[in-house]
């Protein structure tokens, strides 16, 4: 009887539900009003749905009034409509590209671009994702005004370079904050193929939503999510061959011998090489060795394959993204492999509750030589050799009879030096539930967990080295071991309240986001960092003409001393949409002006990117104080204003933008500030807030796009610059700050934050008589040495004669981009340039020997140095005489500074798209690409994006072939 009642009740409920069902009819069209045949119509939270007919019309039964319909179609943005009491619902879908441009992701919320008053830039992801880039940082070269990415290496498994937004204003880590789907992460840990959008918050008004972490700018990354509709598979793969572009040309063996003898004779020493040995080298009896050619044993190759499987219905959507990146090095040992997997899902629970659940993991395996485990050491050691030195003893019966030079032989390091393997595991879980209290008001939570672990192992077998007589000289012993490094976990919890609504009969619009956040970092070495934050942001658009943006955030961090852990960071921005003024109507109707907006912002943001607990006292094992406590230690702070203008004109064909800004940073943190030693202490330092720095700059962008029949084209460019200046270097306006770890860097008012501080030169000493009759000179000066200017006229050359020689920052940064399309063909070019930069010819890129502070006897001159060195016959040379051992020429002076401006073709690409192949492949694009293939520069070193040095893994030009296809 009980079961009968239950069945009866269930049947009654089903009948009531069925009785409540009613029909909804309507049509689905695009923005121009044309039907969208086959558009999907789904009831949110279910898999009940239908498809629009050829005329775009549909019909669907709904169970009640409290449901939402989801309208989707390929190439269009999804749209949700609440049914309510409506019986006819006609919708228009916006094309995905246009709609994406109209929305900006910023500060835990999305805002229509026309309602943004602060300085926000968006990357062109369509262009970025057609480039075969291995690491996401590479996408920032020449693409965003105000953002510089100086790429210094192509070493497998490494970070390619550093990104800075609107200059550098700190002694700490100046990298911008990166937020990926609401989580703090690194760009290195993001697969470029999985990215949907990248937004850059450049001024205080936009970045202050991140308070103490926003002073270096903020990069917000949103990854791809599934779309409601048909099941879809996307594949993207490329293969690349790499060619070194910055290999030095060292002098050959016989020339090295002569130059070495020349240096020793000028220094009053006995020549090293006899004429007979020089003759043997010159005639080929003893071969000249190109050590770089010996260690570069193969072409470096790389490949990337990404697969995405996505789809969904009314219950939700999903996107499973898999990636594999392989980077090969210049020998069989070097290289890296990265495996990544991301699963993003949106789950619609009933009608008002949505859960975004993301799971991500990647494993990075890096292979290095055990003898040179940083990846650069092999090439550094190859530079230390000279071409008269042999790899093997000639005519020897001993297998692999390597010659050691100063206990070095880079070829032996590859063959017998062993291997070292690094393993990095990264996993995240990110849950973002959202509950809609009303259509306009929702509560959103966010809890995420990240864990990063790494380990390394190494192996080297015993190998004996023998001298020319076959006697043992040294042994590389057996080494097999492994270690696990410090692991890090990060947990973030966040609660948001979002309110968005149209007011005054849709004349005004308001966006409000408020919330709180708690973050905790735990390290396996028992270090822990905690932070709490409270924030709020209001955007108000009045009559679509005037926009107000107000943000406030309070941050508390355990990194700082008690009583100084909390900071308050407010900001405000105003904008005027002049396009919507009545007096602009004639220009708007004619298409002469499509958009004209003026913006102004001001705010306070901070920087807490320092090691934790620097304020505490540190005492060593013997009870000596090594670091003085500083109870006043606190945040770095930055005041910033920004003025901007946006213009779109000539029927949306020409767009332009101008930004002018100033950033004033104060309370800068110097963690190694020397303090007067106490009794019993020989070295004492403290972390202090000291100094003030200004960054002032401008950004100009211009882009023209049009279509002529089947031919489409766009040409764009940007120009931006930043001037960096120290205002105060200590506690008073007249203080100077001498850095204990870099004596070539001294701060005082008026110089740049990373200035070159050294001697001015006045040619070279002509002969012994010139040296003898010159009072102001350094000890042991010889003819051909640099003549330094006696700035104060006291007849002595010392530190008092050093002056500011300039700064190393890139100025007059510019970029051009061109995109051409004809039917199914496309052609793209990105060019990046620096109009002014002063580079330093340090290390063996400049000097004729390795200046190691000891013998200074390793290495060989570059051919460029040898051709331009001082000799008695060439007194007006570019460089001083050749030398070995100690020399007065190695001090920083303007002799070693050079023009490092350049223009580089970052990308040249040609592609062709097949619209459909069979029933499975919807489109297939095949392309060839050249990256960093051509550089125009006057730089006397090797790579204008970095200063000279003693040898690194080479920079590469990359030539690739790739395809991108969509299935089903």
Q: 615-640 pLDDT, tens per residue?
A: 888 777 776 777 888 888 888 999 99
CA-CA distance, 539 to 513, in Å (whole number)? 9
Output phi, psi for 366, to 5 deg: -120, 130
The CA-atom distances, in angstroms, between 144 and each of 124, 147, 486, 685, 701 are 9, 6, 35, 40, 9
pLDDT in tens, 231-290: 889 999 999 999 999 999 999 999 999 999 999 999 999 999 999 999 999 999 999 999
What value does the mean pLDDT take over residues 306-328?
93
pLDDT number for residue 110: 87
The CA-atom distances, in angstroms, between 116 and each of 97, 123, 461 are 19, 16, 63
- Decide: 643 and 101 in contact? Cβ < 8 Å: no
pLDDT number for residue 790: 96
pLDDT number for residue 921: 86
The crossing angle, in degrees rounded to 10, of helices 275-283 and 253-266 is: 160
Q: Is the pLDDT of residue 955 over 70?
A: yes
Q: Is the pLDDT of residue 350 over 80?
A: no
Band of the pLDDT at 84, cuts 50, 70, 90? Answer: confident
Band of the pLDDT at 771, cuts 50, 70, 90? Answer: very high
**Residue 236 half-sphere exposure toward CB, CA atoms < 13 A:** 20
Phi-psi label, residue 470: left if phi above 0, alpha if psi -120 to 50, beta otherwise = left
Strand partners, 698: 660, 721
Out of 264-268, 744-748, 764-768, 886-890, which region has the weakest mean confidence (pLDDT)? 744-748
CA-CA distance, 412 to 393, in Å (whole number)? 13
- Decide: 518 and 493 in contact? Cβ < 8 Å: yes
- Cα angle 304, 187, 573 (rounded to 5 degrees) comes to 135
- Decide: 902 and 939 in contact? Cβ < 8 Å: yes
Band of the pLDDT at 373, cuts 50, 70, 90? Answer: confident
CA-CA distance, 531 to 558, in Å (whole number)? 6
Burial bucket for residue 268 (CB in 10 Å: 0-12, 13-18, 19+): exposed
pLDDT number for residue 40: 84
pLDDT in tens, 96-107: 654 444 788 887
Six token digits for residue 739: 């850095």
pLDDT in tens, 916-933: 888 788 889 999 999 999
CA-CA distance, 676 to 449, in Å (whole number)? 44
Q: Which helix (H) or strand (E) holds 261?
A: helix 253-266
- Decide: 431 and 182 in contact? Cβ < 8 Å: no
CA-CA distance, 810 to 418, in Å (whole number)? 40
Q: Which helix (H) or strand (E) holds 735?
A: none
- Decide: 879 and 869 in contact? Cβ < 8 Å: yes
* Percentage of the chain lying above the pLDDT 90 cut: 70
Mean pLDDT, rounded, of the chain: 90
Burial bucket for residue 13 (CB in 10 Å: 0-12, 13-18, 19+): exposed
Out of 19-33, 137-151, 785-799, 900-914, which region has the weakest mean confidence (pLDDT)? 19-33
Burial bucket for residue 5 (CB in 10 Å: 0-12, 13-18, 19+): exposed
What value does the mean pLDDT take over residues 810-827?
95
Among 745, 738, 697, smallest CA distance to 721 is for 697
Among 452, 573, 432, 540, smallest CA distance to 496 is for 432
Band of the pLDDT at 20, cuts 50, 70, 90? Answer: low
- Decide: 545 and 581 in contact? Cβ < 8 Å: yes
Output phi, psi for 98, to 5 deg: -65, -40
* CA 613 and chain centroid, separation: 27
- Decide: 323 and 339 in contact? Cβ < 8 Å: yes
Q: Is the pLDDT of residue 11 over 60?
A: no
- Is the C-alpha dihedral spanning 122, 124, 125, 129 positive or negative? negative
pLDDT in tens, 184-224: 999 988 989 999 999 999 999 999 899 888 899 999 999 99
Q: Provide the 10 A C-beta neighbour count for residue 622.
A: 6
Out of 257-266, 283-292, 535-544, 669-678, which region has the weakest mean confidence (pLDDT)? 669-678
DSSP-assigned letter for residue 252: P
Strand partners, 665: 638, 693
Band of the pLDDT at 4, cuts 50, 70, 90? Answer: very low
Band of the pLDDT at 685, cuts 50, 70, 90? Answer: confident
What value does the mean pLDDT take over residues 586-594?
91
- Decide: 689 and 636 in contact? Cβ < 8 Å: yes
pTM of the model: 0.90
Contacts of 156-159 with C-beta under 8 Å, sequence gap 24+, read: 156/300, 156/302, 156/327, 156/328, 156/329, 156/334, 156/335, 156/336, 156/366, 156/375, 157/327, 157/335, 157/336, 157/338, 157/364, 157/366, 157/375, 157/422, 158/375, 159/135, 159/188
């Amino acid at each position: 009887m009980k079961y009968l009642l239950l069945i009866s009740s269930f049947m009654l409920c089903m009948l009531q539900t069925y009785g409540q069902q009613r029909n909804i009819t309507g049509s689905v069209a695009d923005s121009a009003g044309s039907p969208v045949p086959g558009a999907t119509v789904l009831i949110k939270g279910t898999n009940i749905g239908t498809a629009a007919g050829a005329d775009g019309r549909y019909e669907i039964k709904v169970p009640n009034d409290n449901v939402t319909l989801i309208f989707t179609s390929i190439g269009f943005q999804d749209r949700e409509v609440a049914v309510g009491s409506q019986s006819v619902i006609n919708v228009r879908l916006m094309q995905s590209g246009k709609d994406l441009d109209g929305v900006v992701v910023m500060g835990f919320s999305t805002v229509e671009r026309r309602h943004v008053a602060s300085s926000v830039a968006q990357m062109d992801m369509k262009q970025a994702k057609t480039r075969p880039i291995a690491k996401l940082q590479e996408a920032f070269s020449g693409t965003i005004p105000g953002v510089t990415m100086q790429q210094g290496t192509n070493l497998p498994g490494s970070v390619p370079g550093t990104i800075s937004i609107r200059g550098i204003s700190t002694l700490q880590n100046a990298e911008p904050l990166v937020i990926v789907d609401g989580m703090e992460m690194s760009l290195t840990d993001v697969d470029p193929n999985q990215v949907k959008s990248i937004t850059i918050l450049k001024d205080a008004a936009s970045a202050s939503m991140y308070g103490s972490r926003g002073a270096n700018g903020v990069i917000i990354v949103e990854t791809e999510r599934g779309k409601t509709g048909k099941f879809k598979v996307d594949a993207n793969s490329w293969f690349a061959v790499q060619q070194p572009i910055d290999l030095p040309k060292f002098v050959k063996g016989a020339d090295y011998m002569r130059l070495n003898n020349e240096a020793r004779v000028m220094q009053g020493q006995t020549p090293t090489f006899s004429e007979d040995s020089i003759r043997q080298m010159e005639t080929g009896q003893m071969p000249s060795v190109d050590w770089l050619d010996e260690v570069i044993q193969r072409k470096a190759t790389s490949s990337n394959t990404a697969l995405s499987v996505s789809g969904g219905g009314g219950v939700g959507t999903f996107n499973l993204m898999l990636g594999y990146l392989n980077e090969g090095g210049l020998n069989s040992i070097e290289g890296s492999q990265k495996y990544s997997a991301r699963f993003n899902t949106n789950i619609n629970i009933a009608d008002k509750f949505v859960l975004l659940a993301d799971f991500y993991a990647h494993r990075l395996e890096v292979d290095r030589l055990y003898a040179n485990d940083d990846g650069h050491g092999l090439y550094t050691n190859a530079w230390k050799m000279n071409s008269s030195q042999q790899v093997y003893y000639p005519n020897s019966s001993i297998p692999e009879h390597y010659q050691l030079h100063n206990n070095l032989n880079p070829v032996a390091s590859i063959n017998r030096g062993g291997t070292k393997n690094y393993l990095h595991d990264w996993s995240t879980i990110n849950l973002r539930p959202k509950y809609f209290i009303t259509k306009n008001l929702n509560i959103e939570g966010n809890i995420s967990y990240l864990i990063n672990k790494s380990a390394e192992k190494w192996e080297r077998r015993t190998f004996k080295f023998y001298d020319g007589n076959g006697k043992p000289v040294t042994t590389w012993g057996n080494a097999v071991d492994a270690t696990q490094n410090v692991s890090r976990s990060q947990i973030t919890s966040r609660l948001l309240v979002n309110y968005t609504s149209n007011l005054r009969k849709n004349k005004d619009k308001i966006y409000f986001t408020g919330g709180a956040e708690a973050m905790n970092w735990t390290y396996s070495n028992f270090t822990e960092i905690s932070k709490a934050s409270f924030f709020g942001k209001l955007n108000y658009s009045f009559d679509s003409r005037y926009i107000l943006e107000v943000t406030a955030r309070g941050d508390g961090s355990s990194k700082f001393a008690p009583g100084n852990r909390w900071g308050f960071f407010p900001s405000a921005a105003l904008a005027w949409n002049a396009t919507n003024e009545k007096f602009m109507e004639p220009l708007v109707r004619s298409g002469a002006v499509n958009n004209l907006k003026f913006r102004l912002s001001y705010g306070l943001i901070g920087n807490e990117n320092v090691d934790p607990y620097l304020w505490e006292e540190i005492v060593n094992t013997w009870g000596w104080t090594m670091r003085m406590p500083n109870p006043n230690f606190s945040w770095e702070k930055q005041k910033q204003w920004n003025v901007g203008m946006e213009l779109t004109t000539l029927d949306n064909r020409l767009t332009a933008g101008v930004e002018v800004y100033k950033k004033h940073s104060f309370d800068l943190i110097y963690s190694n500030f020397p303090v007067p030693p106490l009794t019993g202490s020989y070295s004492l330092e403290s972390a202090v807030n000291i100094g003030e720095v200004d960054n002032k700059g401008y950004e100009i962008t211009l882009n023209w796009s049009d279509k002529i029949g089947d031919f489409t084209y766009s040409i764009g460019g940007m120009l931006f610059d930043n001037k960096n200046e120290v205002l105060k270097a200590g506690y008073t306006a007249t203080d100077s700050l001498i850095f204990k770890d870099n004596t070539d860097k001294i701060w005082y008012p008026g110089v740049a934050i990373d200035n070159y501080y050294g001697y001015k030169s006045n040619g070279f000493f002509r002969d012994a008589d010139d040296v003898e009759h010159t009072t102001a000179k350094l000890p042991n000066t010889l003819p051909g040495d640099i003549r330094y200017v006696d700035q104060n006229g006291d007849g002595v050359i010392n530190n008092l004669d050093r002056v500011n020689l300039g700064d190393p920052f890139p100025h007059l940064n510019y970029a051009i981009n061109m995109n051409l399309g004809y039917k199914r063909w496309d052609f793209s070019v990105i060019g990046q340039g620096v109009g002014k930069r002063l580079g330093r010819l340090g290390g063996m890129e400049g000097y004729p020997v390795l200046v190691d502070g000891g013998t200074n006897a390793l290495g060989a001159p570059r051919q460029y140095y040898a051709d331009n060195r001082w000799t008695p016959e060439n007194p007006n040379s570019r460089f001083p005489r050749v030398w070995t051992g100690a020399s007065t020429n190695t001090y920083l002076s303007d002799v070693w500074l050079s023009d490092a401006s350049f223009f580089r073709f970052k990308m040249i690409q040609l592609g062709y798209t097949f619209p459909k192949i069979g029933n499975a492949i919807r489109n297939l694009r095949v392309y060839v690409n050249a990256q960093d293939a051509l550089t125009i520069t006057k730089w006397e070193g090797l790579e204008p994006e970095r200063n000279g040095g003693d040898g690194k893994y080479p920079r590469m030009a990359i030539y690739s072939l790739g395809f991108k296809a969509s299935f089903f």
